[in-house]
Amino acid sequence: MRTALVLLRKDLRLELRTLETVPAMVLLALVTFIVFHFGLDRDTIAGQEAAGVLVATLLFAAMLGVNRLFVAEREQGGFDAFLLAPVDRSAMLLAKAAGLFIFLAALEVVAVPAFGLFLLGPSLAPPLPGLIAVLALADLAIAVIGTLVSAIAIHTRARDLIGPVIGLPLLLPALIATARAAGPLLRFTHAAGAPPGKWLAVLALYDLVFALLAYAVFDFLLED
């Protein structure tokens, strides 16, 4: 855990100094919301349509963070230094997944209000606790899968292509569950402030299964 915290602190400091990843993710999300706002030619959207737009936009922005996740280690020899150090290899998995999760949370702090402004309108305010729970589970899924596929893609010459090609099919169940869980929260008339428990359970189970899978195979990815 101490090694993971050191790596996480290094990644966060690097991002604060360079501002290479999170601002690009935020910009892509904002541009996508503007395109949907004018492309749909409607004042407001709601329900599953709104959930689909939100999930798709956050996913596209997240792919930028996934593609940049291991670039510093690849270009500056961080992989070699880490492999030579007498530490648990899973510490890098934990640190990178936590870093990507924080990047996604920072993205959503800006993107969700912008989504409400451009596409929901003032008459629709989703219950924030339920939406935060859904997005937190979705962020965990993207963080785990993103870290796994980024570790695979960084060793290839077409890393910007390999990451989405591998990651998007793996994320499909989580994305469907996220959209279905967020849909009832984005209706014009919602009686309850909680997302459907069935889809939250699907997301939680997905996170658990793929977190264990990533932990099991990450050592081999670093070696290769």
Condensed to tens digits (0 to 9), the pLDDT of residues 79-124 reads 666 666 666 777 888 888 999 999 999 999 999 989 988 888 665 5
DSSP, res 120: I
Which pTM value belongs to this model? 0.88
User: What is the band of 214 on the pLDDT scale with cuts at 50, 70, 90?
Assistant: confident
In this prediction, residue 207 has a pLDDT band, given cuts at 50, 70 and 90, of very high
Residue 192: the pLDDT is: 47
| pLDDT greater than 90 at residue 152 | no
- pLDDT over 70 (residue 194): no
User: pLDDT category, 125, cuts 50, 70, 90?
Assistant: low
- 53, two tokens: 């737009």
Q: Is 93 within 8 Å of 218 (Cβ atoms)?
A: yes
Query: Residue 157 sits in which domain range?
Result: 2-223
Contact 133, 200 (CB under 8 A): yes
Q: What is the pLDDT of residues 15-71, one digit of tens each?
A: 888 888 899 999 999 999 999 988 888 778 888 888 999 999 999 999 988 888 887
Identify the pLDDT of residue 183.
Answer: 86
Q: How confident is the model at residue 209 (pLDDT cuts 50, 70, 90)?
A: very high
pLDDT in tens, 137-149: 999 999 999 998 8
Surface-to-core class of residue 187, CB atoms within 10 Å of its CB (0-12 exposed, 13-18 middle, 19+ buried): middle
Residue holding tokens 């785990």? 144
Work out how many domains the chain is built from and give that number.
1
